[in-house]
């Protein structure tokens, strides 16, 4: 009796687990991304912010945020008084 019950119910349990996993995966793809640290980075000219802006992050990571890809001048956070003194980090996708 136990083996008959196990043979009949095990496939139903596996199917239920697979369907719930598929719904969970789909719902996580639609979840909003955490954009708390995202900032625009600007080029610094003599401590003042320039007019080139790039997407950066204020959360430390392995790479600094650059104006032109992975090389070139660093991108800085625009502070009050148009001052650019705090370097930003590369945005992790």
Tens-place pLDDT, residues 17-75:
888 877 777 665 655 555 555 677 777 777 678 878 888 888 888 888 888 877 888 88
Which has more pLDDT, 80 or 33?
80
Task: State mean pLDDT over 11-16.
Answer: 85
Residues spanned by the domain of 24: 1-31
Residue with the bigger pLDDT between 27 and 15: it is 15
The pLDDT value recorded for residue 33 is 57
- Do both 79 and 61 map to the same domain? yes
pLDDT at position 69 is: 76
How many beta carbons lie within 10 A of that of residue 88, not counting itself? 27
Q: Does one domain contain both 7 and 22?
A: yes
- Give me the number of domains the chain comprises: 2
């Amino acid at each position: 009796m136990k083996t008959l019950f196990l043979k009949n119910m095990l496939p139903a349990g596996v199917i239920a687990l697979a369907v719930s996993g598929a719904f969970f995966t789909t719902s996580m793809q639609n979840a909003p991304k955490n954009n708390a640290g995202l900032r625009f980075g600007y080029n610094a000219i003599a401590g003042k912010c320039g007019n080139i802006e790039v997407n950066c992050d204020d959360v430390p990571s392995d790479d600094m945020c650059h104006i032109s890809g992975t090389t070139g001048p660093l991108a800085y956070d625009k502070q009050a008084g148009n001052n650019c003194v705090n370097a930003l980090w590369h945005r992790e996708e």
